[in-house]
């Protein structure tokens, strides 16, 4: 699950000319720490949903990598 998230985040980051993240930090904030804007978040959502079948923003606003991981875990249980 962490690898799926990191792959999606790194795809968006490298597309924007930013270096990839080397490790999964559950406290990393999507906007402030990782540098994603609204369009990047939309792309991230689509990529994660395509890989997992879970819409990470369906139930609430997620702000960190850890919150994405929690939404994926909850979606996998549904």
Please state, in angstroms and rounded to a whole number, the distance separating the CA atoms of residues 32 and 30: 6
Please state, in angstroms and rounded to a whole number, the distance separating the CA atoms of residues 49 and 40: 14
pTM comes to 0.90
pLDDT score recorded for residue 75: 83
pLDDT score recorded for residue 3: 94
For the chain, domain boundaries: 2-77
User: How is domain 2-77 classified at the architecture level of CATH?
Assistant: Orthogonal Bundle (1.10)
CA–CA–CA angle 34, 1, 59 (5° rounding)? 75
Q: Tens-digit pLDDT profile for the chain (78 aa)?
A: 899 999 999 999 999 999 999 999 999 999 999 999 999 999 999 999 999 999 998 888 999 999 999 999 988 555
Residues 35 and 13 sit within 8 Å (Cβ to Cβ): yes
pLDDT score recorded for residue 78: 53
pLDDT score recorded for residue 27: 98
């Amino acid at each position: 699950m962490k690898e799926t998230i990191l792959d999606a985040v790194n795809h968006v980051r490298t597309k924007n000319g930013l270096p990839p993240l080397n490790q999964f930090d559950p406290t990393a904030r999507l906007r402030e720490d990782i540098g994603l804007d609204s369009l990047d978040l939309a792309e991230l959502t689509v990529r994660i949903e395509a890989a997992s079948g879970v819409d990470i923003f369906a139930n609430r606003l997620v702000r960190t990598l850890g919150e994405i991981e929690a939404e994926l875990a909850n979606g996998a249980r549904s």
